[in-house]
């Protein structure tokens, strides 16, 4: 004998002998399906079938949208046209496609519009690198040939990216594909800019901008990446002057600087107004070395008394803080560096690179005794996001978009809940950025992009036009177009991206698409482009269309390698999603990317997750294979789907159906919460641990039980079909290929469509909680019996005579499931004893 296992039921097991003979198979037998799921064999073909069925377009001939349901619109960040698809794209595509397929199955006209972004600066960096390999350059080609070359290049990358998205299974409406450099976008850019200009929200002016000497263009604040570096803090003496302007021998003021070369652009020395050490010096003048400029000592409370010497040199044209000081004090703004960051001030340093100039200036200062000291200094240096060059603040005349009024509208939309973030916490980040926003420098001195539609006449007038060919004459003085010169600069690439939700629908025209599909339902992207893209779409969309461009902002986390490192080409830890698809299939990739992930949180991605996902697809494949093969021969292979006969359903059948209903409700809730990781968790558990491990195993016994009549066995089978069908539907948004393939092999009703992609999302059926509870208790009994056997080291194959105590309330269910319990626990004969409670009664 063995130990009782405890719990509410008390198994008591004795050894027995004799083999159990399973009744002869009463099922259809092995279906003609491979024993393992082979994604490569089905995916490409299925995608072609979906395309051919025309189901991706909201009103495609194969789509089965229900009249009266509101459209569902998913907005995706158009990927950069030059980039190959990476894992981040695959993840976002998986999420967006899940949203699209779910909405489509609900019968909503679903628009998910594909596109590419021209990625101005990023594309130029890529092309420049290619050209460099050919011994060419931007300059050697010139603007027109360079652009022609870019168009050729992009023409080769675009179709590659499209086919990659198809491999992932993206149900994008390809008929509506757009590009941020197409004519529709170009027009939207012109009209948007003119409107902003007319509304006083775009202006041309001199401002301190971030200059990348490598890319030879200005970049926005967001494109400057601050990085800690150890520099040097030099202390430099500036000669004090007497009131008559002559040097005051032996009198100097020491300033601390990390950038001695900018001495050439100094126009003042600032101290804190309450600094006793310098109070008497405020108002006096000092002589800037090398340029021999006499400048004032001023008081400003930006100066930190404790830092350095408490006195700071002011270079308004090359430092953001100094620029502000310069504005406050009415100083001049002399520039001292050119486009290549070489010294532009006449004199001994002219033409020198900024760092060479620094070395020479420090040496000279030391030689003349004006260098008081130096020490290492930790500081943040701004680098170009694209080229990694050290960014140079410069004062230039550029086009800006006045951000504050636009930001106010975006803030209001989120505060009032017209647009919400998933997860919520990113709203704070959004608020903080918009509340402190600076005007947006939209000018880029690049070529690949939309040229700013501003024309200048010789008299200095500015005419902004949204006409394709520009203005016919100067708007101010009427000079003919021939005398006008168009702005050379192009727009920041995010300007056109910011119009994406409506420029792709025909805006500025009042098209039917715009009326129907704007604003969007869900915008999905990574949290790393909240400022670049999300905020810009909100600002521009609200101002230009009067409506928030989307209602929900779903933010994905970043994909990292198994060690938590960011994936990057230089680290060599990049996973190519196409390679993964080749190996394991798109469904496994998608499932792995979604399973266990939560919105806004980064996730590690590696082999283990992928294998688990692949195994799950295989499990589903084989479960379906079993169900198809388990068809009672009394049911015709081509029989139309029948509902299980209610009168013949026992606890197993009721349990299966009720659990499917419970799963459906749970999936619905998780979908409504955008908790995709939860969706996969629920389905994985329901399919593997409930349906397969218990439902199918118990059903085997029923299906092979000769003591049951034919109709009862048919009912069991129809129940399996019904429940499996439900699970395939629920899983389809995440694993579209395998579910589509399997669903097609199950019997259907005549009113079902040919393809799962347009089949109906399951309704939530009625629960039978009593049965769920009873069956759960009996399944636990089986587990306890197995546990007892394992503990007692009973050979797994041995059949044991077993006695169990069953509470009276469970009696009916127990007897109904007895053959199944016996088989799963290998307990036969299985004797049911009265419970102690019953004996006492």
Partner RNA sequence: GGGCGAUUGGCUCAGCUGGUUAGAGCGCACGGUUCACAUCCGUGAGGUCACUGGUUCGAAUCCAGUAUCGCCCACCA
Q: Which of residues 748-777 bind RNA (CB under 7 A)?
A: none
Measured from the CB atom, the residue of 424 and 579 that comes closer to RNA is 424
Instruction: Enter the DSSP assignment of 489.
Output: -
The interface with RNA within residues 196-255 (CB under 7 A) comprises 221-222, 226
The window from 118-126, 201-209, 426-434, 828-836 that contacts RNA (CB under 7 A) reads 426-434
String marking each residue 47-86 x if it binds RNA according to CB under 7 A: ----------------------------------------
Supply the minimum distance, in Å, between the C-beta of residue 743 and RNA.
16
Give the integer Cα–Cα distance in Å for 540 and 192: 8
By CB under 7 A, name the one of 612, 641, 745, 748 that touches RNA.
612
By CB under 7 A, name the one of 307, 404, 640, 711 that touches RNA.
307
Supply the minimum distance, in Å, between the C-beta of residue 629 and RNA.
6
Give the integer Cα–Cα distance in Å for 95 and 600: 13
Give the integer Cα–Cα distance in Å for 236 and 239: 10
DSSP string, 579-638: HHHHHH-HHHHHHHHHTT--TT--EE--HHHHHHHHHHHHHHHHHHHHHHHT--TTS-TT
By CB under 7 A, name the one of 63, 82, 210, 257 that touches RNA.
257
The interface with RNA within residues 262-291 (CB under 7 A) comprises none
Supply the minimum distance, in Å, between the C-beta of residue 630 and RNA.
7
Q: Which helix (H) or strand (E) holds 94?
A: helix 87-105
Give the integer Cα–Cα distance in Å for 182 and 184: 5
By CB under 7 A, name the one of 148, 229, 304, 583 that touches RNA.
304
Q: Is 622 in the site for RNA (CB under 7 A)?
A: yes
The interface with RNA within residues 361-380 (CB under 7 A) comprises 377, 379-380
Supply the minimum distance, in Å, between the C-beta of residue 831 and RNA.
21
By CB under 7 A, name the one of 127, 161, 623, 759 that touches RNA.
623
Q: Is 429 in the site for RNA (CB under 7 A)?
A: yes
The window from 286-294, 510-518, 570-578, 604-612 that contacts RNA (CB under 7 A) reads 604-612
In contact, 616 and 692? CB cutoff 8 Å: no
Measured from the CB atom, the residue of 163 and 689 that comes closer to RNA is 689
Give the integer Cα–Cα distance in Å for 312 and 322: 9
Measured from the CB atom, the residue of 477 and 608 that comes closer to RNA is 608
Measured from the CB atom, the residue of 471 and 747 that comes closer to RNA is 747
Supply the minimum distance, in Å, between the C-beta of residue 433 and RNA.
6
Tokens of 97: 């496609």
Q: Which helix (H) or strand (E) holds 455?
A: strand 454-456
The answer for residues whose C-beta is within 8 angstroms of residue 145's C-beta and 6 or more apart is none
The answer for residues whose C-beta is within 8 angstroms of residue 528's C-beta and 6 or more apart is 558
Measured from the CB atom, the residue of 255 and 708 that comes closer to RNA is 255
Measured from the CB atom, the residue of 35 and 368 that comes closer to RNA is 35
Tokens of 796: 């797994």
Q: Is 383 in the site for RNA (CB under 7 A)?
A: no
Beta-carbon neighbour count of residue 10 at 10 Å? 18
Pairing of strands 520-526, 550-556: parallel
Helix (H/G/I), strand (E/B), else coil: 829: strand
In contact, 92 and 556? CB cutoff 8 Å: yes
Beta-carbon neighbour count of residue 761 at 10 Å? 21
Dihedral class, residue 681 (left if φ above 0, else alpha if ψ from -120 to 50, else beta): alpha
Measured from the CB atom, the residue of 797 and 839 that comes closer to RNA is 797
Measured from the CB atom, the residue of 146 and 655 that comes closer to RNA is 655
Q: Is 831 in the site for RNA (CB under 7 A)?
A: no
Pairing of strands 115-116, 490-491: unpaired
The window from 172-180, 448-456, 504-512, 609-617 that contacts RNA (CB under 7 A) reads 609-617
The interface with RNA within residues 538-577 (CB under 7 A) comprises 560, 562, 564
Nearest Cα to 226, choosing from 383, 379, 387?
383
Q: Is 501 in the site for RNA (CB under 7 A)?
A: no
Nearest Cα to 83, choosing from 111, 115, 44, 122?
122
Give the binding-site size for RNA (rule: CB under 7 A).
Answer: 85
Measured from the CB atom, the residue of 351 and 606 that comes closer to RNA is 606
Q: Is 586 in the site for RNA (CB under 7 A)?
A: no
The window from 72-80, 404-412, 421-429, 655-663 that contacts RNA (CB under 7 A) reads 421-429
The window from 92-100, 277-285, 306-314, 749-757 that contacts RNA (CB under 7 A) reads 306-314
In contact, 409 and 539? CB cutoff 8 Å: yes
Supply the minimum distance, in Å, between the C-beta of residue 687 and RNA.
9
Measured from the CB atom, the residue of 53 and 321 that comes closer to RNA is 321
Nearest Cα to 597, choosing from 678, 702, 485, 484?
678
Supply the minimum distance, in Å, between the C-beta of residue 480 and RNA.
44
In contact, 369 and 377? CB cutoff 8 Å: no
Q: Is 807 in the site for RNA (CB under 7 A)?
A: no
Q: Is 810 in the site for RNA (CB under 7 A)?
A: no
Please provide the size of the chain in residues. 841
By CB under 7 A, name the one of 626, 717, 727, 761 that touches RNA.
626
Supply the minimum distance, in Å, between the C-beta of residue 222 and RNA.
6
The interface with RNA within residues 646-675 (CB under 7 A) comprises 675
Measured from the CB atom, the residue of 379 and 838 that comes closer to RNA is 379
* Distances in whole angstroms, Cα of residue 384 to Cα of each of 207, 336, 339, 381, 490: 19, 20, 15, 10, 18
Give the integer Cα–Cα distance in Å for 258 and 270: 16
String marking each residue 690-729 x if it binds RNA according to CB under 7 A: --xx--xx--x-----------------------------
Q: Is 44 in the site for RNA (CB under 7 A)?
A: no
Q: Is 36 in the site for RNA (CB under 7 A)?
A: yes
Per the DSSP assignment, residues forming a β-bridge with 559 are 603
In contact, 232 and 375? CB cutoff 8 Å: yes
By CB under 7 A, name the one of 237, 285, 313, 631 that touches RNA.
313
Residue 407 phi/psi, 5-degree rounding, is -65, -35
Taking the CA atoms of 717, 720, 722 and 725 in sequence, report the sign of the dihedral they define.
negative
Instruction: Enter the DSSP assignment of 438.
Output: P
Supply the minimum distance, in Å, between the C-beta of residue 304 and RNA.
4
């Amino acid at each position: 004998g063995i130990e009782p296992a405890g719990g509410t039921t008390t198994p008591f097991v004795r050894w027995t002998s004799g083999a159990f003979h399973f009744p002869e198979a009463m099922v259809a037998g092995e279906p003609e399906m491979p024993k393992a799921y082979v994604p490569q064999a089905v995916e490409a073909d299925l995608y072609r079938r979906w395309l051919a069925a025309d189901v991706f377009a909201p009103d495609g001939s194969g789509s089965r949208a229900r009249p009266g349901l509101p459209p569902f619109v998913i907005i995706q960040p158009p990927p950069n046209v030059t980039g190959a698809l990476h894992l981040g794209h695959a993840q976002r595509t998986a999420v967006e496609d899940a949203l699209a397929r779910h909405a489509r199955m609900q019968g909503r006209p679903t628009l998910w519009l594909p596109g590419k972004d021209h990625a101005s600066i990023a594309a130029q960096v890529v092309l420049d690198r290619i050209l460099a390999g050919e011994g060419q350059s931007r300059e050697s080609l010139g603007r027109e040939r360079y652009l022609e070359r870019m168009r050729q290049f992009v023409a080769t990358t675009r179709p590659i990216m499209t086919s990659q998205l198809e491999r992932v299974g993206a149900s994008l409406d390809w008929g509506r594909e757009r590009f941020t450099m197409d004519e529709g976008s170009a027009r939207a850019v012109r009209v948007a800019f003119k409107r902003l200009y007319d509304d006083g929200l775009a202006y041309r002016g001199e401002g301190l901008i971030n200059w990348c000497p490598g890319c030879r263009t200005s970049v926005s604040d967001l494109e400057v990446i601050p990085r800690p570096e150890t520099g040097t803090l030099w202390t430099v003496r500036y000669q004090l002057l007497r009131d008559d302007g002559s040097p005051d021998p032996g009198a100097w003021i020491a300033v601390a600087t990390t950038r001695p070369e900018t001495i050439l652009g100094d126009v003042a020395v600032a101290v804190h107004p309450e600094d006793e050490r310098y109070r008497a010096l405020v108002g006096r003048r000092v002589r800037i070395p090398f340029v021999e400029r006499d400048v004032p000592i001023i008081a400003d409370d930006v100066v930190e008394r404790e830092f350095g010497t408490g006195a700071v040199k002011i270079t308004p044209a090359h430092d953001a803080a100094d620029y502000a000081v310069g504005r406050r004090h009415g100083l001049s703004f002399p520039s001292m560096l050119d486009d290549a960051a070489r010294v532009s001030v006449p004199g001994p340093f002219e033409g020198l690179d900024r760092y060479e100039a620094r070395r020479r200036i420090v040496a000279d200062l030391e030689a003349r005794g004006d260098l008081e000291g130096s020490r290492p200094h930790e500081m943040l240096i701004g680098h170009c996001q694209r080229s990694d060059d050290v960014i140079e603040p410069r004062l230039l005349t550029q086009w800006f978009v006045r951000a504050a009024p636009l930001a106010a509208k975006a803030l209001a939309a989120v505060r009032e809940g017209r647009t919400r973030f998933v997860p919520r916490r990113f709203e704070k980040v959004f608020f903080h950025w918009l509340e402190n926003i600076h005007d947006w420098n939209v000018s880029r001195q690049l070529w690949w992009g939309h040229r700013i539609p501003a024309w200048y006449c010789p008299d200095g007038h500015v005419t902004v036009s949204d006409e394709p060919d520009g203005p016919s004459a100067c708007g101010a003085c009427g000079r003919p177009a021939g005398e006008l010169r168009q702005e050379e600069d192009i727009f920041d690439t995010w300007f056109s991206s910011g119009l994406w939700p409506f420029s792709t629908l025909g805006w500025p025209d009042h098209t039917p698409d715009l009326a129907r599909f704007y604003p969007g339902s869900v915008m999905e992207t990574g949290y790393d482009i909240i400022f670049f893209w999300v905020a810009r779409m909100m600002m521009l969309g609200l101002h230009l269309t009067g409506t928030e461009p989307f209602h929900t902002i779903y933010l994905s986390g970043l994909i990292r390698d198994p060690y938590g490192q960011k994936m990057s080409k230089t680290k060599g830890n990049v996973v190519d999603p196409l390679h993964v698809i080749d190996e394991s299939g798109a469904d496994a990739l998608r499932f792995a990317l979604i399973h266990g992930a939560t919105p806004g949180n980064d996730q590690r991605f590696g082999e283990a997750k992928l294998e688990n996902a692949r195994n799950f697809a295989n499990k589903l494949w084989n479960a379906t294979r079993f169900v198809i093969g388990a068809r009672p021969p009394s049911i015709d292979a081509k029989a139309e789907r029948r509902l299980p006969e209610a009168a013949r359903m026992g606890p197993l059948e009721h349990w299966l159906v009720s659990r499917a209903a419970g799963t459906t409700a749970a999936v619905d809730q998780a979908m409504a919460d955008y908790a995709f990781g939860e969706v996969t968790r629920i389905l994985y558990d329901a399919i593997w641990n409930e349906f397969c491990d218990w439902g199918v195993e118990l059903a085997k016994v029923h299906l092979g039980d000769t003591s049951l009549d034919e109709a009862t066995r048919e009912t069991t089978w129809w129940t399996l079909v019904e429940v499996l069908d439900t699970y395939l539907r629920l899983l389809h948004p995440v694993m579209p290929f395998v579910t589509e393939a399997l669903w097609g092999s199950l019997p259907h009703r005549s009113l079902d469509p040919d393809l799962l992609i347009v089949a109906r999302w399951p309704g939530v059926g009625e629960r039978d909680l009593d049965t769920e509870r009873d069956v759960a208790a009996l399944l636990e009994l089986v587990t306890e019996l197995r546990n007892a056997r394992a503990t007692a080291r009973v050979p797994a194959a041995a059949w044991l005579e077993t006695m169990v105590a069953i509470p009276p309330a469970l009696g009916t269910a127990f007897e109904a499931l007895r053959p199944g319990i016996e088989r799963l626990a290998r307990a036969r004969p299985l004797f049911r004893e009265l419970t102690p409670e019953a004996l006492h009664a």
